[in-house]
Amino acid sequence: DQQVKQNSPSLSVQEGRISILNCDYTNSMFDYFLWYKKYPAEGPTFLISISSIKDKNEDGRFTVFLNKSAKHLSLHIVPSQPGDSAVYFCAASSQGNLIFGKGTKLSVKP
């Protein structure tokens, strides 16, 4: 059973608009959440994270929102740029054990 789910395998957005990537989890013991971006033929790179004691973390164009009661987190990218086109992985951590979602492929069209 998947503990971390990214239900949208793909998302297409126009350049300049907002991209919203969603992630749901089932384990209430998760205390740290991360987003990674992955380009083809490269390893994932860390994007942004949030601790379970917060509900929002912002870094430039990237904002992560955490709704603990709904066990849901989302990544907002504003404004979206063509270079943001990649696969985005949500990950959740409990005592150092990192569980990844299957990823969402974001395509930002010029």
Partner 1 sequence: KAGVTQTPRYLIKTRGQQVTLSCSPISGHRSVSWYQQTPGQGLQFLFEYFSETQRNKGNFPGRFSGRQFSNSRSEMNVSTLELGDSALYLCASSLAPTSSIYFGEGSWLTVV
Q: How far is the CB of 70 from partner 1 (least distance, A)?
A: 22
Is 42 a binding residue for partner 1 by CB under 8 A? The answer is yes
Rounded CA-CA distance 49/67 in Å is: 14
**Contact between residue 47 and residue 35 where contact means Cβ atoms under 8 Å apart:** yes
| Binding status of residue 46 toward partner 1 by CB under 8 A | yes
Using CA atoms of 4, 73, 85, 9 in order, give the dihedral in degrees to the nearest 10.
40
Sole window of 15-23, 40-48, 51-59, 77-85 interacting with partner 1 (rule: CB under 8 A): 40-48
Q: Is 69 helix (H, G, I), strand (E, B) or coil?
A: coil
Site for partner 1 in 49-88 (CB under 8 A): 49
104, two tokens: 């969402």
Coil, strand or helix: which one is 110? coil
36 binds partner 1 (CB under 8 A): yes
**Total residues at the site for partner 1 (CB under 8 A)?**
22
CB-nearer residue toward partner 1: 41 or 70:
41
**Residue 34 or 106: which CB sits closer to partner 1?**
34
